Amino acid sequence: MIRGQAPPAVRGGRRPNPEVRLVSGDLLDQASLVAAVDQVRPDEVYNLGALSYVPISWRQSATTAEITGMGVLRMLEALRIVGGITASRTPGPGQPRFYQASSSEMFGKIRETPQNELTPFHPRSPYGVAKVFGHYTVQNYRESYDMFAVSGILFNHESPVRGPEFVTRKVSLAAAAIKLGLRDSLRLGNLEAERDWGFAGDYVRGMVLMLGQEKPEDFVLGTGVTHSVRELVSMAFAHVGLDWREHVVVDPALLRPAEVDLLCADPAKARERLGWKPVVSFEEMIALMVDSDLRLLSDSRHA
Ligand code: GDP
């Protein structure tokens, strides 16, 4: 989604890759997806499209359901229609493999910890509810049409190009800006929330491994280690020699109508079956995000 995005510099400012050819399509528009799939004839499809910022999902709940939930169904329908697949005419060899970005937000008000592929869902936001719809739609297309369609249930994964509205990037940008004397405070919501945060690059590797499996199956990807927002802030500020308590203001307006208090992955299945494990630690990820924002903000100051 373009609406509400920060300027390219803050979002990472990457130049387009000349080897990537862009073909447009819209998760709200079935015909555009059919046309795109027909034109590209892909081997693999990764559906990462979503309205993905949880607080916005309360304000735009119907749009979230349409894009984040129904968008999955439309993408699968596009593959089914272009492939000529029906319940009695299942996919032949060479049909595209489909990856769906499911989310740990589906676990929401957790029923057990750590969470694995069999943990029941209890989503806590319109975003989480829409992701559950997408997740079961993938399962249903696999069972109804024998399509190679899988969901990766990914826990929070971050990098220097994360949107600045998410807490990790909001904190790394603030720590860098305060260090450079560009501002002096940071407003945050719930400091007690705990997440299993990993580095996005590790997770993309896991996604590719899932589509390389012999049989389509869902996998949880996460580190198995949990930290609070408070720990995240403390670590990011300490990295630039600052004491977070002198700069952070808790703003009740940033609290959510329903919160996901704790997420912690059990990635045992991915480790055993995919040979996947994350390489970049939480501490390394925070350091590389803060360092990247220090460079970004110093460059833009001198530009
Ligand atoms: P999410 O897990 O997909 O919702 O990822 P976020 O990065 O948006 O939020 C992670 C956690 O940080 C949630 O429990 C938020 O309530 C908490 N949090 C605390 N303060 C903030 C804030 O200022 N912005 C965001 N985005 N999250 C915050």
Angle subtended by helix axes 167-179 and 229-239, to nearest 10: 30
Show pLDDT as tens, one digit a residue, over the chain (303 residues).
Answer: 233 344 444 555 567 889 999 999 999 999 999 999 999 999 999 999 999 999 999 999 999 999 999 999 999 999 999 999 999 988 877 899 999 999 999 999 999 999 999 999 999 999 999 999 999 999 999 999 999 999 999 999 999 999 999 999 999 999 999 999 999 999 999 999 999 999 999 999 999 999 999 999 999 999 999 999 999 999 999 999 999 999 999 999 999 999 999 999 999 999 999 999 999 999 999 999 999 999 999 988 777
Q: Token pair for residue 277?
A: 């494990």
Give yes or no for a contact between 93 and 54, defined as CB atoms under 8 angstroms apart.
no
pLDDT of residue 2: 30
Q: Token pair for residue 250?
A: 């808790």
Distance 291 CA to ligand 1 centre (A): 21
Which residues are annotated as catalytic? 103, 105, 127
Distance 130 CA to ligand 1 centre (A): 18
- The strand ranges marked E within the chain are 44-47, 97-103, 149-154, 157-158, 186-188, 194-195, 198-199, 219-221, 227-228, 248-250
pTM of the model: 0.94
**Reported ipTM exceeds the 0.95 cut:** yes
Q: How many CB atoms lie within 10 A of CB 2?
A: 4
Residue nearest to ligand 1 atom 14, measured at CA: 193
Give yes or no for a contact between 71 and 49, defined as CB atoms under 8 angstroms apart.
yes
Residue nearest to ligand 1 atom 1, measured at CA: 54
Q: Which atom of ligand 1 is nearest to the CA of 190?
A: 19
Task: Please choose from 159, 167, 233, 260 the residue to mutate so as to test ligand 1's pocket, defined by most ligand atoms within 8 A of CB.
Answer: 167
DSSP per position, 73-119: HHHHHHHHHHTT--SSS---TTPPEEEEEEEGGGT-S-SSSSB-TTS
Q: How many residues does the chain have?
A: 303
Q: Token pair for residue 80?
A: 């089914």
Residue nearest to ligand 1 atom 11, measured at CA: 193
pLDDT of residue 14: 65
Ligand 1 pocket, residue 256 CB under 6 Å? yes
